[in-house]
Amino acid sequence: MIAVDIGGQARAYPEQILVWHEIVNDSFGDVPITVSYCPLCNSAIVFDRRVGHRTLTFGTTGKLRKSDLVMWDRQTQSWWQQFTGTDLVGRYTGTTLRPLDSQVLSWAQFKASYPHGTVLSRDTGFQRPYGSNPYPSYDTAPASKPPFYSGRVDPRLPALERVVAVFAGEQTAVVPFSTLIRHPVITGSLGGRPLVVLYAPSVVSALDAGTISHSREVGTAGAFDPIAGGARYGSPRLVMVCSAIRQARPGTSPAGPSPSITRKAAAPAAHR
């Protein structure tokens, strides 16, 4: 589930649906949002879909750039990179959408955290085999040659390693899930602000077995400001293809936490 909480209103968007449609346009009160999910990058990113005084409605172009979804807006026909939220070509070239905080949770975690939250219905008006995975075994593709990717593969991590990436201005911290499984609480700072990254199990991959509910457990992670009552930290993003991060943020090292991030031995923390 991609969970969004705006103004005390929470809603879950199942990856079992988004793996087929990739984009949902929705609104929380007077805040219009776009929930985007690129299966090939496993990047779940939520944007405010307002640009200036105009509200845009997004769809998928069916194209990829650096193995990442390219979106388009119906108002101006502009093409946007999903991973960065930047207009590549069109009316708003160079403009970047404002990312909104979101989490990737299991259904059980969402219900426990947001007992009054709502969930996107499978009654979408489209005939799709929701619950099945159109990319079976994508998770276990050879690290040397990820499907649909033709760029250079960074050798410092497996190409399909899951990581949590936290962006603060021009600074980026990247923590691999393989590290978080061993150290489920990592503290440090980024952009002059304190930071804690938490890992929790119980979330299965949407890109493993043909039936998603039968997929292997991969867990989830999130970044928080430990001082401001556990508020979300900037715009944490869960991403699978490390090369996509390298392309979006060339200065990012995919080898592990940034030097300002330190590991802290602790018991696994409950993920909110």
At 92-127, the pLDDT tens digits run 999 999 999 898 999 999 999 999 999 999 999 999
Query: How many CB atoms within 10 Å of residue 268?
Result: 15
Chain segment 207-219, per-residue pLDDT in tens: 999 999 999 999 9
pLDDT at 268 over 80: no
Single-letter code of the amino acid located at 234: G
What per-residue confidence (pLDDT) applies to 189?
Answer: 85
pLDDT at 160 over 70: yes
Query: What are the CA-CA distances from residue 264 to residues 10, 28, 148, 185, 197 (Å)?
Result: 31, 37, 37, 6, 10
Report field, pTM of the whole predicted structure over 0.75: yes
pLDDT at 266 over 70: no
52 CB burial (10 A radius; 0-12, 13-18, 19+):
exposed
For the ranges 68-82, 167-181, 223-237, the lowest mean pLDDT is seen at 223-237
What per-residue confidence (pLDDT) applies to 241?
Answer: 42
User: Can you say how many angstroms the Cα of residue 235 is from the centroid of all Cα atoms in its chain?
Assistant: 9
Q: What is the mean pLDDT of the chain?
A: 83
Average pLDDT value for residue range 70-84: 96
pLDDT: is 170 or 73 the higher one?
73
> Phi-psi category of 140—alpha, beta or left, where left has phi over 0 and alpha has psi -120 to 50?
alpha
**Contact between 120 and 24 (Cβ < 8 Å):** yes
For the ranges 15-29, 101-115, 195-209, 241-255, the lowest mean pLDDT is seen at 241-255
pLDDT at 132 over 70: yes
What per-residue confidence (pLDDT) applies to 116?
Answer: 95
